[in-house]
Amino acid sequence: DLNSWENSLTLTVCLDFLNIQLYENEAEDKKLCIVFKYDPENSGFISTERFRDLLETHGSELDPHKLEVLLALADGNADGKICYQDFVNLMSNKRSNSFRRAILQGSRQLKGCSLRDEVGLGLSQRLVRHVAYETLPREVDRKWYFDSYTYCPPPWFILAITIAEVAVFMYYGLQLDRLVLQVSSPSFLKSPLPYHPQLRAQAWRYLSYIFMHTGIEHLSLNMAMQLLVGVPLEMVHGALRIGLVYVCGVLAGSLAVSVTDMTAPVVGSSGGVYALVSAHLANVVMNWSGMKCQFKLFRMAMALVCMSVEFGRAVWLRFYPPAFPPCPNPSFVAHLGGVVVGLTLGVVVLQNYEQRLQEQSLFWIFFCVYTLFVLCAVFWNIFAYSLLDVRLPPPP
């Protein structure tokens, strides 16, 4: 693979079998110049026939899965030529849209045995293979991910969020002297973490509420879904993308409550969890024939059951007589906000493995719609409560 280069240094990466040299020229705004000896006309392309000959001659220097994908790229390109920038992106694990189109529209399927049929793999390799089949619908993506994943960095985001949520729950469990239905304690909402309509000017509460849970039953369901779905997704798509979906779901959840359930507080990580789970389930449904995970129908049904049980518990608790009126119990609307984010922004993220999100028009459409919703909700929180003369519960 081609390594990334530092801004202040000049790095030359030489692939012997293609004799590609990359130079960084600071005088020309650090543009990438490529000397490609198989392109004497300097057109930026190489014929697929010459490309195949090079791969067959020097293919032993590449991982077999990567060689298989490169051959598919050569055979699947109907134009008879390959852009060397696509090749550079490919070797540096930054595959472009043109590469994906060449693979998907090619006349030839990937040859060789399926990744599932390979034997002699170690424990870590079997785990990576399992994650690939859990999350990716195409064999070419699964093989590429299997060869590229190195456990560095590990799926730290979901693990860190989970550890923090458990730690905060245990802290308040000891402080409030209860683990079940902590929300029934008079001191529960006095924490600086939950969202409360009287304290909505404290902006951090729109995110920090995820660290508080109504009880161990609430925490357990959220943690189970968060770890079982979030960790594999982060291993494939990275902390940045999964963190984006998770945080957008969390923020959408609290803002949705402030707009539609204006008198209720919010606690729990359900907004972020439901964003991840709904995005993953939608991705499975949209790529049903390509997803090769075992017992996918049964497991999808179980995921929907868990989501329904957790949502039903939240609805019941919201309308159950509060322990300390007039403050109502926490709202369930955050779950719905997370689902909407997962079915829009989340699906676009999961559908574009190793593709640049900034090149996807759907991503920008959903991101702009989400930004517009956030701005409208902010103005709603500033002006609507006073204009509508909403009677809010007293501050905790």
Bin 29: left if φ > 0, else alpha if -120 < ψ < 50, else beta.
left
**Catalytic residue selected from 96, 208, 270, 331:** 270
Query: Nearest CA to 172 among 195, 198, 190?
Result: 190
Sign of dihedral through CA atoms 163, 164, 170, 174?
positive
Contact in structure between 46 and 73 (CB atoms under 8 Å)? no
What region, left, alpha or beta, does residue 80 occupy, with left being phi > 0 and alpha being psi -120 to 50 degrees?
left
Rounded-to-integer distance, Cα 132 and Cα 150, Å: 13
96 is catalytic: no
What residue has token string 């280069």? 5
Q: Cα separations (Å) of 10 from 21, 87, 93, 212?
A: 11, 21, 21, 49
How many angstroms from the chain centroid is the CA of residue 121?
27
Q: Please identify which residue in the block is written with the tokens 């991705």.
A: 283
Q: Which of 196, 218, 237, 335 is catalytic?
A: 335
Gap between the Cα atoms of 299 and 156, Å rounded: 25
Q: How far apart, in whole angstroms, are the C-alpha atoms of residue 195 and residue 218?
A: 17
295 burial class (0-12, 13-18, 19+ CB within 10 angstroms)? exposed
Q: What angle do CA 330, 331, 336 make, to 5 degrees?
A: 145
Whether 65 is catalytic is no
Structure tokens, 212 = 């508080």
CA gap 158, 176 in Å, rounded: 27
The residue among 228, 319, 314, 324 whose CA lies nearest residue 277 is 228
Find out whether 208 and 192 touch, Cβ atoms under 8 Å: yes
238 CB-near residues (< 8 Å, 6+ apart): none
* Spatial distance between the Cα atoms of 65 and 173, rounded to a whole number of angstroms: 50
What's the CA gap between 274 and 342, in Å, rounded? 7
CA distance 21 to 5: 13
What residues are labeled active site?
Answer: 270, 335
